[in-house]
Amino acid sequence: MSQRSCLSVILAAGEGTRMKSALPKVLHPIAGLPMVAHVVKAAEAAGSGDLALVIGHGAEDMRKAAQKFAPKAETFVQEKRLGTAHAVLAARVAISKGYDDILVMFGDTPLIDPEALAVARKKLAEGAAVVVVGFRPPNPTGYGRLIEKGGRLVAIREEKDCSAEEKKIGFCNAGMMAVAGKHALELLDKVGNSNAKGEFYLTDIVEIAGGRGLDVVATEASFESALGINNRAELAEAEGIWQARRRREAMLSGVTLIAPESVYFSHDTEIGADTVVEPNVWFGPGVRIATGARIHAFSHIEGATIAANCDVGPFARLRPGADLKQKAKVGNFCEVKQATIEEGAKVNHLTYIGDARVGAGANIGAGTITCNYDGYSKFFTDIGEGAFVGSNSSLVAPVTIGKGGYIASGSVITESVPDDALAFGRARQKTIPGKGKELRERFASAAAAKKKAATDH
């Protein structure tokens, strides 16, 4: 089958009014990726070489988004919404190129299983002209029923048109379909609109193909694969299903999730075996974690690379560009952005490291800040191997702390520090005997006078 050419037509022109959003429905994300992009990934995993996106509402937004998740896809605009067959025919130019297989999917079914699509393509390779993907929902009410006779699919019957006996059928239309390329346009062009809504329904090609003596069959997918998204509640449900799948996959690959239900992955999270993830950790897009790391509770990680045996958190935030080398540590209530923490370096508590490099084995004390932004531009801080930066220090970039450099606690460093040098950047302490008592008495007297004045009024 791998030698058969395949075009996937993804219908993404719906307005999605029930989402109550200015954003086109199919661009709402699941695991940080637009739901239609999940459909694209499934199509590609099933061997589809080319993609046709049929768009409508928010066409320009769709085109811009597609450049990121499907840069090679052709886009076609369905100017008027006249039914699913009409939508597929918007991609006539692509369909007419002579593909062996045509897959038709909906952009709002993000949990589709690539294997279900591969099975449908296999049926085409075996001689079927039309393959309808079905499923068995817990409650079939409202779904079109798949009517089979002698192992062949003869019709897709909408519930309102079903007989009492047909309503008992639990095998329903999932919406996905595979059509032999050599028959696709011929069948689609025969679809009429003599129905209550005056629309052209893709499901009509089942009876059209059967009437021409062509082989029409149904295959079965899971309920989740057919789950369509129409509102925010269903979006959250789909997110939950996706996350549950990904958590199980991670654990089966050797990752320990102490409280799986509280960990959230992104669509592209990479995480190595023997990594331990504590409760309430969120992974945004672009995270890569090697083996043996430990991610402590309540950490927020996005666009970061974490090497083997690193220790992160609790309550750490790694922003895009954070790059932790082996055995590096970023501790509690720390933030790292666009910075490299070299092997064995420690960024321990309540610290911000941005636009910087922390050399191997260096120690960054609590409350340290790299002052990387002057309101207009960003500047770089370079901290050398084995350097020690004392607590509550501010490093005003651009600045370099040399190898083995030592920064006294509470310093504001505005000039580079040579290797092995000690730098102070603070005012000399002055102690005045008895002044503390004098201040307390003065402040107490002022407070008493203020209280008396308030009472007199």
DSSP 178: E
In a domain, 139, yes or no: yes
Q: Are residues 206 and 261 in the same domain?
A: no
The answer to whether residues 52 and 31 touch, using CB atoms and an 8 Å cutoff, is: no
Quick one: 363 and 309 in the same domain?
yes
Is 327 contained in some domain?
Answer: yes
- Cα–Cα distances in Å, from 170 out to 112, 219, 343, 441? 19, 14, 59, 85
Claim to verify: residue 183 and residue 238 sit in the same structural domain: no
Number of domains in the chain: 2
- Comparing C-alpha atoms, which of 96, 137, 132, 100 is closest to residue 117? 132
Average pLDDT, the chain: 94
The pLDDT confidence band at residue 2, using thresholds 50, 70 and 90, is low
Say whether both 237 and 222 belong to one domain.
Answer: no
What span, in angstroms and rounded, lies between the C-alpha atoms of 273 and 48? 31
Residues 217 and 290 in one domain: no
95 falls within a domain = yes
- Catalytic, 349? Answer yes
433 in a domain, yes or no?
no
Q: Express each pLDDT in 420-444 by its tens digit.
A: 999 999 888 888 999 989 989 999 9
Based on the fold, state whether residues 179 and 236 are members of the same structural domain.
Answer: no
Whether 447 is covered by a domain: the verdict is no
The SS3 of residue 128 is coil
pLDDT of residue 257: 98
Same domain, 155 and 111: yes
Q: Please tell me whether the peptide bond between 398 and the residue prior to it is cis, using omega within 30 degrees of 0.
A: yes
The answer to whether the CB of 103 falls within 8 A of the CB of 7 is: yes
Q: Name the domain boundary from 168, 203, 226.
A: 226
> What is the span of the domain harbouring residue 40?
6-226
Mean pLDDT of 276-284: 98
Mind listing the pLDDT tens digit for each residue in 343-398?
999 999 999 999 999 999 999 999 999 999 999 999 999 999 999 999 999 999 99
Q: Has residue 446 been placed in a domain?
A: no
SS3 266: coil
The CATH number linked to 10 is 3.90.550.10
Same domain, yes or no: 221 and 316: no
In a domain? residue 354: yes
Shared domain for 98 and 190, answered yes or no, is: yes
pLDDT tens-digit series, residues 303-339 = 999 999 999 999 999 999 999 999 999 999 999 999 9
φ/ψ region of 147 (left if φ > 0, alpha if ψ in -120 to 50, else beta) reads: beta
> Contact, 274 vs 290, CB < 8 A?
no
In-domain check, residue 331:
yes
Q: Are residues 98 and 133 in the same domain?
A: yes
User: 117 and 54, same structural domain?
Assistant: yes
pLDDT of residue 53: 96
pLDDT at 356: 98
- Confidence check: pLDDT of 1 > 70: no
- 86, 183, 349, 457: the catalytic one is 349
pLDDT tens-digit readout, 85-108: 999 999 999 999 999 999 999 999
